[in-house]
A = this chain, B = another copy of it.
């Protein structure tokens, strides 16, 4: 059974101290429903992606919490999978439509992080780590720094190559009015920024952000009545050990590779068919590894490609990565991220991305990772042939 995305929208991402989680969700959902030509009463089920509302705010039962806020009284679920919560919520929403139980499912991802003390947020995020890692006092920059060191040692990856990820994603974010950051940076500036966890520097790290994103998933029958549906043609989720110590190798993320394999197989496409992708660049090393895990480059080759600006809007030959600005520059409100990736790809495949529109794009991919790679979700989408600026 085919499923499609109709409307999809994000709020502004950033330090939104004066906007509540309720208001963020209301805004993203209203816009997604409007774009779908649907009302909340048309929705059959609600899937909420969120990680930290319990740890940071003591609030759980989030499915019902946001259902009430939206005036929705049907089935409502919260899906948690750390930084992949949004992607996993989207996945389950799509599965639910595919099951035939529901025709119109609303997925919303949300996170409110900047109201809390940074040390509380850092500790909260370690809820995604293994208990050994948590007890050792390591935080996520440290975990990804270990991945970076291993990659550098094995493949000769350089700090400049890592910095190129941040430079590209800031360049894209400048074109995205919803992005957390809107400043251009240079490799030199990244290299000169304060060390966080060697070799990662401040500008290698995605920010702590607030934000929400929503998408409406519908059955084939409903999609065909709407305008410009974007089809979900493949999806995969896989898991791995929570902690780095439990893995055979740490220069790639096994869960991401296996999730991608499942998604490619279902979609009957390969890495060369992907023309636009939103990947999980919580740290620059994460994007570099993602480019290799997704098969866009051979292991050890992505860094050089980044330095050649092969994946940058306006310079790319066949694939643009993180046109939204990615987690690095669009921002990373944890539970919202996986849904925001879908919003961006849907917009790109419809040809509605304005200044940051990737030309001639028909197939796009999202890649959302939880923890340091303990869970990953990959989705592949196809625009309607001939729609927007698609190749058709």
Residues facing B in A91-112 (CB within 8 A) are 91-92, 95-96, 98-101
State the majority secondary structure of interface residues on A.
Answer: mixed
A78 touching B77 by the CB < 8 A rule? no
Q: How far is the CB of A106 from chain B (nearest CB, A)?
A: 13
Interface residues on A, range: 35 or more
Contacts of A54 in B (CB 8 A): 52, 54-55, 60, 80, 127
Q: How far is the CB of A189 from chain B (nearest CB, A)?
A: 33
Q: How far is the CA of A255 from the CA of B254 in the complex (A)?
A: 41
Q: Mark A54-70, 1 if CB is under 8 A from B, else 0.
A: 11001111111101100
Residues facing B in A240-278 (CB within 8 A) are 240-242, 246, 254-255, 258
Q: How far is the CA of A202 from the CA of B118 in the complex (A)?
A: 41
Q: How many copies of this chain does one complex carry?
A: 2
Q: How far is the CA of A147 from the CA of B91 in the complex (A)?
A: 37
Interface residue A14 (Cβ < 8 Å from any Cβ of B): no
Contacts of A129 in B (CB 8 A): 61
A81 touching B99 by the CB < 8 A rule? no
Known A-B contacts A95-B99, A96-B99, A239-B67; A62 and B80 likewise in contact (beta carbons under 8 Å): yes
Q: How far is the CA of A80 from the CA of B375 in the complex (A)?
A: 17
- Given A65-B374, A75-B91, A75-B237, 13 more A-B residue pairs with CB atoms under 8 Å apart are A59-B131, A64-B81, A64-B371, A64-B374, A64-B375, A67-B239, A73-B254, A73-B258, A74-B237, A75-B239, A77-B88, A95-B96, A96-B99
